[in-house]
Structure 1
Amino acid sequence: MTATKPRGYTPGQLTVHADPPALHAVTRTLKGAGRRIALVPTMGALHDGHRELIRHARLAKGASVTVVSIFVNPLQFGPGEDLERYPRPLEADLEMCREEGVELVFTPGVEDMYPAGADTTVSPGALGDEMEGAVRPGHFAGVLTVVSKLFHVVAPDVAYFGEKDYQQLVLVRKMARDLDFPLDVVGVPTVREDDGVARSSRNAYLSAADRPRAAVLQEALRAGASVSAQGPEAVLAAARAVLAREPALELDYLELRDPDLRPDVRQGKARLLVAARLGTTRLIDNITVQLEI
């Protein structure tokens, strides 16, 4: 092994690691040689939203080695959720990583990330019980637990998360700050379909009838943002009016909060967030809103 080319890493070529200590040894050696590590955590079933995260990671200043993790994390799925049917097209995922010039992919098994007897989790605090956390109890404890383990294994200098899962992004940033992880957490704008629907692995579950209805979420968010000069009540009312026009939508929540997801925002930059169900498929979306009064 040399300082610039550790075993298990070949510049310009994709190498897949399933063993956490083996990947940790590679990234630690690269960091010791002055290379910066960028991490893109995923659950696989990669789409253009993930491609955008990878491209941001590869173009980051000084982030010369990109690691993509592919791990369907059981801790963040609640009872009755879609863990078993969650898509796992590993070969297609690896091909996308090759196309994007990714050099390291981490594909651990459940037993690698959660050895027998492992039952310690990361508490997300009060925000973890609100919005997504209220609908999916325990979800964010599962998310933060796996992300903290990925941070330890990969030892990245920077990690990239999509703004589509905005509450997750805020909580990961807070965890990194609160627990003194020495890295930057970067949010990447949501990638959308031509009709405005946020790219998501779960879009594949939408029926042919429900697929066009999914665009109503983005229409509602834009309607709310368009009246931001009239204040928060007007924003929420405009968004609700659009949502009400689609009876197939079962609304979980519509919230207007500040960028750190504190409630009762009255002016300045804010975030409008929505979650709803179409049939058996649950969708989330959000948009930036500038309140002027």
Structure 2
Amino acid sequence: MDIEAEKARKFRISDFDLIRLLGTGARSSIWEGRDTSTGKSFAIKRTFKQPEDDNRYLDQAINEYEIASRLQHPTIRKVFSLKRVRRVFSIREIHTVMELCLGKTLEEAPPNSLLEKCVVLIEVAKAVHEMNSKGYVHADMKPDNIVVSEKGRVKIIDLGLSCPLGTVKQRIQGTPSYMAPEQLVCWPLDARTDVYNFGATMYWALTGELPPTVVPHQDNSISAHQKSAIPPHIVKPGIPLHLSYLVTDCIKIEPSGRLGGMDAVATRILVIIRELERDQEPTFRIRQRHGTGHGGSFLVSEYRSVAVSERLGPERHVIR
């Protein structure tokens, strides 16, 4: 359903004035809405079911709300409420009130420098580690699910495919270019699944290319001898070797060959950030991007170097 068709439906939700349509998905639309009692702005996600559909889209919306409501991390988009809309005896729509995150995705507007990219990536790595520590796998990390807001805050915006650690999915779910091999054959998912998804995301962010997609055999097995990704520093000369090796350590075919968790990934990114900072002035101007924000230019001013604790504590790198 395109944007004009969605507008024509004159979607309404109680207690909110809908300001504008921000985007649409397969069975969803996201609106900017203003609370009529407080004046605060939120993102309102409408997920709907067509007569021929099963419940997968509604189930994903409920799943996203249930998991996100259990997480409290500044890099994970907050959810506030969920409403089930029934028609006759079945649920036909889900309305979710979420934190409004205006900006551009990593896919739409990747940062210019290696340091800027690493600053975004470490925030995501720490947030996914928090998810894993709470017992969940994100299972759908990709550039399109990472937003840098107009104030420079990094946000993970989609938890629809997230699930408890150890989950065996009944069907293949995800974006093939970023999926771990175990996702393609419906094996149990764990933190190393997120390590692979994140590694594929890093690969794209650094090279502009995708690692080769793993192809399962007819017996639903995965061979460790499938074609490996070309290391990023070979695809794009100038990428530091230790950063390139970090990526390849994340996207091993066998889960046992990858880094064991996102905490290990974040720790190595932190070392890389510190090395990159030593090679640059502590404060530098980021080139302004025009026409990349919703209804205006993307607000980018300065990146200021700030410390991140060795234990990956609350201190954060922020583009501000």
TM-score normalised over the length of structure 2: 0.27
Taking CA–CA contacts closer than 8 Å with sequence separation of 6 or more, which of the two structures ends up with the larger relative contact order? 1
- If each structure's helix is expressed as a fraction of its own residues, which one has the higher value? 1
